Amino acid sequence: MLILANEIQSYDVILIISLMILLGLFVGRIAEKHHIPNITGYIIVGIVFGLGIYWWSGVALLGLFMYITKFALGFIALSIGLELDFRKIWNRRNEVLIVTIVQAVSAFIFTAIGLRVFGFPLHYALLLGTIAIATEPGPILFLTKRYKTKGELTDTLVPLHGVEDAFAIIIFGIVLSYAIAVEQGQSLSLIMILHGPIYELIFSLFLGIAIGIILRIIIRKLDYEDVDKDMVVFVSAFVAIMFSIALAIRGFDFFGAHVHLSPVLLPMVVGITFANTSSKLAKDETEHMLDLFSPPILIGFFTIIGAEMVFLLISGTADIDWSRFLLYATVYIVFRIFGKLFGSYVGGLLGKSTKNVRKYLGFCLLPQAQAAIGLIFYAGTRLSNSVTANMMILIVIAGTLVYELLGPFGLRHSFIRCDEVDEHGACIIKQKRKT
């Protein structure tokens, strides 16, 4: 019996991911006992495995790993969407909108200005500024569920991602069109600037609503005395996630233009639509079933992210100018952090947030990974200057490595300071004190 090479590789991936998840589980538990967020333990396991895999087989497994993380990101985005009950956050809608936009604009401006001051070309600095807007939802979902946080910080943090992702899509599309025009020496037209991001935003929203309504119809038809109820709920939600991610990655042609969809916004809108059009019982049942299967998916996501970043960094540094790379990566990391912290504080003032939200929200917005990597890779395929495109990809990857390692500490610290998590660790939960 002949065994094809790609079959062997697939079995290798299954074997490696199984070991990563199991080892990540125990390393995460050990990390928590030493007051280190378990996510950081998962990522460290992934980094170690990534170094070992690269030494063993190069980057042959990178493509397969990236498919898995894209699915996991869709799972995370839909789960975030299920948390967004408009009936609960409607009274705080202005605050959430103001804080989200101000911190996003702040991260964009500070990162772009910082890179430009240190000599990075303006159109490329603006492009990296748009990447700085993106915040990885994975750590936020994982830790809010793990710690069962409740309070004003969580209520601001969870709905922030839907608005931020939509805003990031528009700004990224506009700036990418500008960067391409500068490279090619062309003049910009309004249609060129807007049609890409507007299409992506509109179709992500429209298709997300459509899939969410279909999911609602399926769940609504269920007989809650049916012994297969849980299976139908989980399979329906699973298919909704798979379909959303496949459609987002594949895209489609629309009047001669290829429309790219957001792999974060599309499944998130599915979750938001389902959560806000279904009964509380249906929403709770669906969320409960997804939560039962979430631990291996989330642990796998963070360990694979750690391995991915190692693959990408090592494979892209063969002909790199190390002095420029280290300078610009440091500037990107530092100025994005400052932009997020400053913008969250100012946005909190303008949105009339509580003192704790103003002071600590920015620390929760530091994680960055798959969404940012996806955007910069897409930009790299559209830019003609491959040397600079490769430099920007490596800058973002280096930044995500730092943010994913340090970001969970910022989240945990903020939850503790806002009295949403026990001060001795994340395992004993305290309700927010009444003041």
State how far the Cα of 264 lies from the Cα of 116, in Å rounded to an integer: 29
Question: Does residue 307 belong to any structural domain of this protein?
Answer: yes
When mean pLDDT is compared across 26-40, 188-202, 283-297, 349-363, the lowest value belongs to 188-202
Radius of gyration of the chain (CA): 21
Concatenated DSSP letters of 250-268? H-EEETTEEEP--TTHHHH
Model pLDDT for residues 291-316, shown as the tens digit of each residue? 888 888 889 888 988 888 888 777 76
Of 142, 160, 145, nearest to 89 by C-alpha is: 160
Question: Does residue 254 belong to any structural domain of this protein?
Answer: yes
Residue 373 pLDDT = 83
What count of Cα atoms within 13 Å lies in the side-chain half-sphere of residue 374? 24
Residue 177 pLDDT = 81
Question: Does residue 272 belong to any structural domain of this protein?
Answer: yes
Question: Does residue 57 belong to any structural domain of this protein?
Answer: no
Concatenated DSSP letters of 67-87? HHHHHHHHHHHHHHHHH--HH
The first and second tokens of residue 273, run together, are 């639509």
Per the model's pLDDT, the better-predicted residue between 330 and 7 turns out to be 330
Q: What percent of the chain has pLDDT over 90?
A: 20
Residue 342 pLDDT = 95
Question: Does residue 391 belong to any structural domain of this protein?
Answer: yes
Number of domains composing the chain: 1
Question: Does residue 56 belong to any structural domain of this protein?
Answer: no
Domain of residue 218: give its range: 65-417
How many other CB atoms are there within 10 angstroms of residue 9's CB atom? 15
For the chain, helix, strand, coil in percent to 5 are 80, 0, 20
Instruction: Find the DSSP H helices in 317-368.
Output: 322-350, 355-364
Residue 330 pLDDT = 94
- How many residues belong to the chain? 435
Helix (H) or strand (E) holding 65: helix 62-83
Question: Does residue 256 belong to any structural domain of this protein?
Answer: yes
Helix (H), strand (E) counts: the chain = 16, 2
Of 281, 289, 305, nearest to 137 by C-alpha is: 305
Model pLDDT for residues 209-250, shown as the tens digit of each residue? 999 999 999 888 777 676 777 888 888 888 999 999 888 888
- 240: domain CATH number is 1.20.1530.20
The first and second tokens of residue 435, run together, are 């003041």
Q: What percent of the chain has pLDDT over 70?
A: 88
Question: Does residue 59 belong to any structural domain of this protein?
Answer: no
